[in-house]
Amino acid sequence: MNQTIKFWAVVPAAGVGKRMNADRPKQYLELAGLTVIEHTLSRLLQANVFSAVAVAISAEDPYWTELDIGKHELIITAPGGKERADSVLSGLKAIREQAKDDDWVLVHDAARPCLTTGDIRLLIDTLVNDEVGGILALSSHDTLKNVQDKYILGTLDRRTIWRALTPQMFRYGLLKSALEEAEGNPAITDEASALELMGLKPKIVEGRPDNIKITQPEDLALAQFYMEQQ
Ligand code: CTP
Ligand code: MG
């Protein structure tokens, strides 16, 4: 491995958490004594691999400056964007002076607080010599249906279907140009899809099923349970 290659983390945290239906964005809800985003950022910092962690925060967010972790020397605050991809691009721009094109960037949702150091290491160890990069993902246990207007049109081949998680790990230069090229495209819901659009093939690394994204109210209790098990 090239010793001069660095690792950076970018954390999109500028969403409003509509599906959570709470009094504040879900990243600021309490989970096991801390806010969701404090868990997420602590876990990234604990892995001890990142030169810095760029966090994209909405201009209307009154909660972020209340948290001590925002003042950590490795945390950089960047402006949030309209869509998740815009927030990620903003995080990348916040480290443009320090990051080199060949450095690796791990993009991780603020809303995934159960990430383990083991999964971060697995992703890095699997992909560090890869040209393109890849993502943590989960295979699907359920039989999957293609549905229109509540009628089943067919059954998907489960062996070829994976659920995309984060972190997603790509080279700084490639990821930034892929996201810039795809700007405004609603089909870009994760980093991998921006690279797929360029004709590239990101790799799948099987992650842990407890790396859930807090999305609906019941997910908080589930995340708490997983943390106790870890
Ligand atoms: N995100 C972001 N900027 C946006 C939208 C989302 O940084 N404009 C972040 C969220 O804060 C979250 C991650 O992207 O950490 C994943 O998005 P999602 O789970 O969809 O969060 P929200 O958009 O906040 O939730 P919802 O879609 O229910 O409104
Ligand atoms: Mg969203």
CATH number where 141 lies:
3.90.550.10
Flag whether 74 is in a domain.
yes
- Is the CB of 91 within 6 Å of ligand 1? no
pLDDT at residue number 2? 55
pLDDT at residue number 158? 87
Q: Which residue has the higher pLDDT, 8 or 158?
A: 8
What's the pTM? 0.97
Per DSSP, the three-state class of 32 is coil
Rounded percentage of the chain residues whose pLDDT exceeds 70: 99
- Is the CB of 111 within 6 Å of ligand 1? yes
Flag whether 103 is in a domain.
yes
CB 56 within 8 A of CB 78: yes
Q: For residue 183, how many other CB atoms are within 10 A of its CB? A: 13
Beta-carbon contacts of residue 160 (< 8 Å; ≥ 6 apart) = none
Number of structural domains found in the chain? 1
Flag whether 1 is in a domain.
no
CB 56 within 8 A of CB 84: no
Asked if residue 1 has pLDDT above 90, the reply is: no
Give the tens place of pLDDT for each residue, 39-85.
Answer: 999 999 999 999 999 999 999 999 999 999 999 999 999 999 999 99
- Is the CB of 113 within 6 Å of ligand 1? no
Mean pLDDT computed over 135-156:
95
Ligand closest to CA 191: 1
pLDDT at residue number 3? 61
Residue 59: domain span: 7-229
Q: How confident is the model at residue 194 (pLDDT cuts 50, 70, 90)?
A: very high
Flag whether 2 is in a domain.
no
Flag whether 30 is in a domain.
yes
